[in-house]
């Protein structure tokens, strides 16, 4: 019976977080309310409070749940790819697909959450900042592994990696913002072309990368 209660609690937690991630991606993390969530899902308010305790706890749990979804959708699918710029490109393709397919109703969860909390110190901002830093470091790690495997042209050194990671992430995030604000999916195609151009510009064997991104389904 105890195991059954635990599993029901875990299932309720998963149901709540699936709902809060979509709400937060469109209305912001401040748009979360324990009472409203309970009403939306037909749950008891006391039961939701028992799971999360406070609005801040719910916000933190929502950010962590979004990280898990992001890893599943973007990072894990390329984990077994051989090191190189091709792996970096496929990671970018996964990100563009994740954002463009609206895995979260409001596009990239972390772009929205960062804009909401970037000037608001506290545990929620710290959690968002950690997620963003982890993503940047992962991109830099893949780029540096590609460099160490000889995928960069002569003269490109470790100091080029952070700059390249910054430019790639900036292109993807601009595509996300532009596509949402203007309802313009072409932004993703432009970002993909820009990313490929930058990767090919540093590649020791540019022809190992596509000349242009494949057309996206709309």
* pLDDT digits 0-9 by tens, 48-59: 888 898 999 999
- The answer to whether the CB of 166 falls within 8 A of the CB of 137 is no
Question: 1 pLDDT exceeds 60?
Answer: no
Please count the residues of the chain: 218
Question: 187 pLDDT exceeds 80?
Answer: yes
> In CATH, what number does 2-208 get?
1.10.357.10
The Cα-based distances of 161 to 143, 195, 204 in angstroms read: 6, 14, 15
pTM: 0.92
- The answer to whether the CB of 164 falls within 8 A of the CB of 202 is yes
């Amino acid at each position: 019976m105890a195991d059954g209660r635990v599993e029901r609690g875990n299932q309720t937690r998963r149901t709540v977080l699936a709902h809060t991630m979509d709400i937060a991606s469109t209305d912001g993390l401040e748009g979360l309310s324990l009472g409203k969530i309970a009403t939306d899902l037909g749950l008891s308010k006391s039961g939701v409070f028992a799971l999360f305790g406070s609005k801040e706890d719910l916000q933190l749990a929502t950010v962590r749940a979004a990280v898990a979804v992001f890893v599943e959708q973007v990072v894990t699918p390329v984990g077994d790819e051989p090191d190189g710029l091709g792996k970096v490109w496929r990671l970018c393709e996964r990100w563009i697909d994740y954002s463009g397919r609206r895995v979260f109703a409001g596009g990239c969860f972390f772009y929205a959450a960062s804009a909401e909390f970037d000037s608001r110190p506290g545990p929620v901002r710290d959690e968002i900042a950690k997620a963003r830093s982890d993503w940047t470091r992962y991109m830099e790690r893949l780029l540096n592994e590609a460099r160490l495997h000889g995928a960069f042209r002569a003269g490109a050194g470790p100091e080029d990696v952070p700059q390249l990671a910054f430019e790639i992430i900036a292109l993807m995030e601009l595509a996300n913002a532009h596509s949402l604000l203007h309802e313009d999916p072409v932004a993703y195609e432009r970002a993909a072309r820009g990313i490929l151009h930058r990767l090919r510009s540093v590649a020791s064997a540019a022809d190992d990368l596509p000349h242009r991104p494949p057309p996206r389904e709309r």
